[in-house]
A = this chain, B = another copy of it.
Amino acid sequence: MESGGGVVDHLADERSKAQFDVDEMKVVWAGSRHDFELSDRISRLVASDPAFRKDNRVMMSRKELFKNTLRKAAYAWKRIIELRLTEEEANKLRFYVDEPAFTDLHWGMFVPAIKGQGTDEQQQKWLPLAHRMQIIGCYAQTELGHGSNVQGLETTATFDPQTDEFVIHSPTLTSSKWWPGGLGKVSTHAVVYARLITDGQEHGVHGFIVQLRSLDDHMPLPGITIGDIGMKFGNGAYNTMDNGVLRFDNVRIPRDQMLMRVLQVTKEGKCVQSNVPRQLIYGTMVYVRQTIVADASRALSRAVCIATRYSAVRRQFGSQNGLETQLFWLLVLFQVIDYKTQQSRLFPLIASAYAFRFVGEWLKWLYTDVTQRLQANDFSTLPEAHACTAGLKSLTTSVTADAIEECRKLCGGHGYLCSSGLPELFAVYVPACTYEGDNVVLLLQVARFLMKTVAQLPSGKKPVGTTAYLGRVEHLMQYRCGVQNAEDWLNPSVILEVFEARAARMCVNRAQKLGSFPNPEEGFAELSAFLAEAAVAHCQLIVVSKFIEKLQQDIPGGEGVKQQLRNLCNIYALNLINRHLGDFLSTGAISAKQASLANDQLRSLFSQVRPNAIALVDAFNYTDHYLGSILGCYDGNVYPKLYEEAWKDPLNDSVVPDGYQEYIRPMLKQQLRNARL
């Protein structure tokens, strides 16, 4: 257990067991050799720079924490300039700094909003300022009383033709902007979403560039009240971000600060639609959700890397029944990763990390495809692409949030320590289930699209993209799964058809049930929970099918790498059958006997993955800095590091704690009665 002077690797044995080339798998995981090298180089750059250390942030007070984030952001920007990093490299650097900050919103929301919704002149004016960070912007949409539901926004932007200005106003308490990151303490500007009113008429919700703070002394401009909305879930985590509250008291901005790419307001107050298609906004949505799915695979892989490594480090006495406690010294210490209960929880999560990685890669392609079609004024695939990304966002973020917590539990008691990294990872990740569309609301959007698709089948309308299988619904309703022994479950086309049959039958079944309601909207409301289940089935099918497609492509690393991915793909699919058995059985997609065979096959796959488990998570190529977990450290030298880390807690600054004289001593000495408390 010595941490000694030399290089230790407590997991070296595990690494030598791998049956594939981990370096090749790193490239597969990264997406390409270019992506691998970029990530590798930048992550090491960040990890080796003490200015970016992050192990101390869970002990900081809110103020210290926030100031530290400001320091890191400024330092990162300085390094980006000094090293003349490209935009791609700069993005990676910010990513590996791994600390939510106002820059996320500036680069990820403010700049894209101006690019997407600003006219050419507006872009020419504002983008250079933003690109040089001479202004810092955020994205002010949600309000205290209204979440992602844009329809509910109450902030108004009333055009005043007398002065050629908009008057931005918060008419109620609930109309206060609430949640925007970077707003509370940092941003000088915001894209503010408000109801456009001209000549007493409402014209929907639009974006306006509003300066919030003076560029001289950072004080809020007249009529503007801003603050931070307070502590959020977890230690460190999102408390590095100044999510803000913002109220407007009749704040005036020039007319040309309304983002007018789609709708223009003339100086007479007339609204004029431009010839830019409104559907463009969906392209942006596809883009944003694609990045969220990519983030899901990263967060999940990170948690699973920690849990897998620690499961190989941690040992427990086998509870050999029958042997009595007197013999304990003779009992073998088992690695926890050798327990089937551990494997059955852990390995499907490794598989899910890879599955989400590949479906995220495919979404990147989808975005390119959608963009090209939009440019050619082809909107035919948009609804399907929109539903598909909504569903995948919902599925992957929900699974990932739960999986991080599951990984924490898989680490036993020590997972509860901040030094395990898992509490912070959970706390920082869970908002993904809510932002950019609440996950349940998104599933209902998918369900609505599926019901529409099914309803249009009789008219001969061919479903496209990920819903194409619904075009074979007659075949799928009659399909009988032919699995007769466990090995049959290794056939990808069997898996695919079983998932298609399940999803198709659930859709048809829901559509029929909907049909029994006189009013379809009422039926939809009444059956919504039931409909969401069909949407989940559809989304799981997408993930499974994209994983299978990936396996049909050329993959570097030869058969070794491919075999691992095949195992993971099968684990992903068979585990879902196990978890959602009710769906598969109630639709008759498989029989109880076949389900039992799937389970047998799953256990056998776990045994095949076992020797490769550590290498499979090594392939994520995460530095110890990025992982931020003692339990997950590369060398597996967990216990000495945990012990060392404990002493850094501020409570250990003194042997006798502050408060002893006032509170503990009087208690022990029975002198409380006279104490002033």
Once A59-B231, A418-B231 are accepted as A-B contacts, the answer to whether A643 and B173 lie under 8 Å apart by CB is yes
User: Which residues of chain B are near A331, meaning CB under 8 Å?
Assistant: 151
A197-241 near B? 1/0 per residue, CB < 8 Å: 000001011000000000101111000000111111111001000
Query: Is B219 in contact with A416, judged by CB distance below 8 angstroms?
Result: no
Query: Is B245 in contact with A525, judged by CB distance below 8 angstroms?
Result: no
Q: Which chain B residue lies CB-closest to A656?
A: B218
Query: Is B231 in contact with A526, judged by CB distance below 8 angstroms?
Result: no
Query: Is A58 in contact with B316, judged by CB distance below 8 angstroms?
Result: no
Q: How many residues of A contact B (CB 8 A)?
A: 155
Task: Output the least CB separation between A265 and chain B (Å).
Answer: 16
Query: Is B228 in contact with A649, judged by CB distance below 8 angstroms?
Result: yes
The docked-state distance in angstroms from the alpha carbon of A145 to that of B174 is: 52
User: Which residues of chain B are near A658, meaning CB under 8 Å?
Assistant: 63, 66-67
Once A230-B648, A646-B230, A648-B230 are accepted as A-B contacts, the answer to whether A664 and B186 lie under 8 Å apart by CB is yes
Q: Confirm or deny: A18 has a beta carbon within 8 angstroms of a beta carbon on chain B.
A: no
Query: Is B409 in contact with A433, judged by CB distance below 8 angstroms?
Result: yes
User: Which residues of chain B are near A51, meaning CB under 8 Å?
Assistant: 677
The docked-state distance in angstroms from the alpha carbon of A439 to that of B73 is: 42
Q: Which chain B residue lies CB-closest to A411?
A: B434
Task: Output the least CB separation between A408 and chain B (Å).
Answer: 8
Query: Is B655 in contact with A219, judged by CB distance below 8 angstroms?
Result: yes
Query: Is A649 in contact with B218, judged by CB distance below 8 angstroms?
Result: no
Query: Is A416 in contact with B434, judged by CB distance below 8 angstroms?
Result: yes
Query: Is B63 in contact with A650, judged by CB distance below 8 angstroms?
Result: yes
Query: Is A417 in contact with B230, judged by CB distance below 8 angstroms?
Result: yes
Query: Is A603 in contact with B132, judged by CB distance below 8 angstroms?
Result: no
Query: Is A642 in contact with B528, judged by CB distance below 8 angstroms?
Result: no
Among the listed B78, B417, B650, which residue makes an inter-chain contact with A672, where contact means beta carbons less than 8 Å apart?
B78
Q: Confirm or deny: A74 has a beta carbon within 8 angstroms of a beta carbon on chain B.
A: yes
Q: Confirm or deny: A185 has a beta carbon within 8 angstroms of a beta carbon on chain B.
A: yes
Q: Which chain B residue lies CB-closest to A647?
A: B227
Once A413-B434, A423-B233, A657-B70 are accepted as A-B contacts, the answer to whether A643 and B228 lie under 8 Å apart by CB is no
Of the listed stretches A320-328, A354-362, A462-470, chain B binds A320-328
User: Which residues of chain B are near A376, meaning CB under 8 Å?
Assistant: none
Q: Confirm or deny: A108 has a beta carbon within 8 angstroms of a beta carbon on chain B.
A: no
Query: Is A423 in contact with B657, judged by CB distance below 8 angstroms?
Result: no
The docked-state distance in angstroms from the alpha carbon of A529 to that of B82 is: 54
Q: Confirm or deny: A582 has a beta carbon within 8 angstroms of a beta carbon on chain B.
A: yes
Once A74-B675, A652-B228 are accepted as A-B contacts, the answer to whether A448 and B321 lie under 8 Å apart by CB is yes
Of the listed stretches A254-262, A285-293, A336-344, A609-617, chain B binds A336-344
Of the listed stretches A110-118, A133-141, A453-461, A478-486, chain B binds A133-141
Once A144-B643, A651-B185 are accepted as A-B contacts, the answer to whether A526 and B326 lie under 8 Å apart by CB is no
Among the listed B329, B434, B668, B672, which residue makes an inter-chain contact with A215, where contact means beta carbons less than 8 Å apart?
B668
User: Which residues of chain B are near A409, meaning CB under 8 Å?
Assistant: 430, 433-434, 439
Query: Is A651 in contact with B242, judged by CB distance below 8 angstroms?
Result: yes
User: Which residues of chain B are near A151, meaning CB under 8 Å?
Assistant: 317, 319, 325, 328, 331
A582-598 near B? 1/0 per residue, CB < 8 Å: 11111110001001100
Query: Is A152 in contact with B317, judged by CB distance below 8 angstroms?
Result: yes
Once A149-B316, A176-B643 are accepted as A-B contacts, the answer to whether A77 and B667 lie under 8 Å apart by CB is yes
User: Which residues of chain B are near A173, meaning CB under 8 Å?
Assistant: 1, 639-640, 643
A166-183 near B? 1/0 per residue, CB < 8 Å: 000000111010010000
Q: Confirm or deny: A412 has a beta carbon within 8 angstroms of a beta carbon on chain B.
A: yes
Once A341-B532, A529-B341 are accepted as A-B contacts, the answer to whether A218 and B664 lie under 8 Å apart by CB is yes
Once A413-B434, A521-B321, A663-B70 are accepted as A-B contacts, the answer to whether A646 and B228 lie under 8 Å apart by CB is yes
A660-677 near B? 1/0 per residue, CB < 8 Å: 101111111010110101
Once A70-B659, A651-B66 are accepted as A-B contacts, the answer to whether A147 and B231 lie under 8 Å apart by CB is no
Query: Is B656 in contact with A219, judged by CB distance below 8 angstroms?
Result: yes
Task: Output the least CB separation between A606 and chain B (Å).
Answer: 9
A614-638 near B? 1/0 per residue, CB < 8 Å: 0000000000000000000000000
Q: Confirm or deny: A184 has a beta carbon within 8 angstroms of a beta carbon on chain B.
A: yes
Task: Output the least CB separation between A54 and chain B (Å).
Answer: 13
Task: Output the least CB separation between A229 and chain B (Å).
Answer: 5
User: Which residues of chain B are near A340, meaning CB under 8 Å?
Assistant: 525-529
Task: Output the least CB separation between A204 and chain B (Å).
Answer: 6
22 contacts between A and B (CB under 8 A): A59-B231, A62-B649, A63-B658, A74-B667, A74-B677, A78-B675, A132-B670, A136-B664, A142-B413, A144-B639, A179-B413, A185-B657, A220-B655, A231-B235, A234-B234, A234-B235, A321-B521, A345-B529, A409-B433, A409-B434, A412-B438, A526-B603
3 A-B pairs closest in CB distance: A581-B582, A233-B423, A344-B529
For the complex with contacts A59-B61, A67-B658, A230-B419, 11 further pairs of A-B residues with Cβ separation under 8 Å are: A74-B677, A136-B668, A147-B316, A151-B317, A152-B317, A186-B657, A231-B419, A231-B649, A233-B423, A413-B434, A582-B584
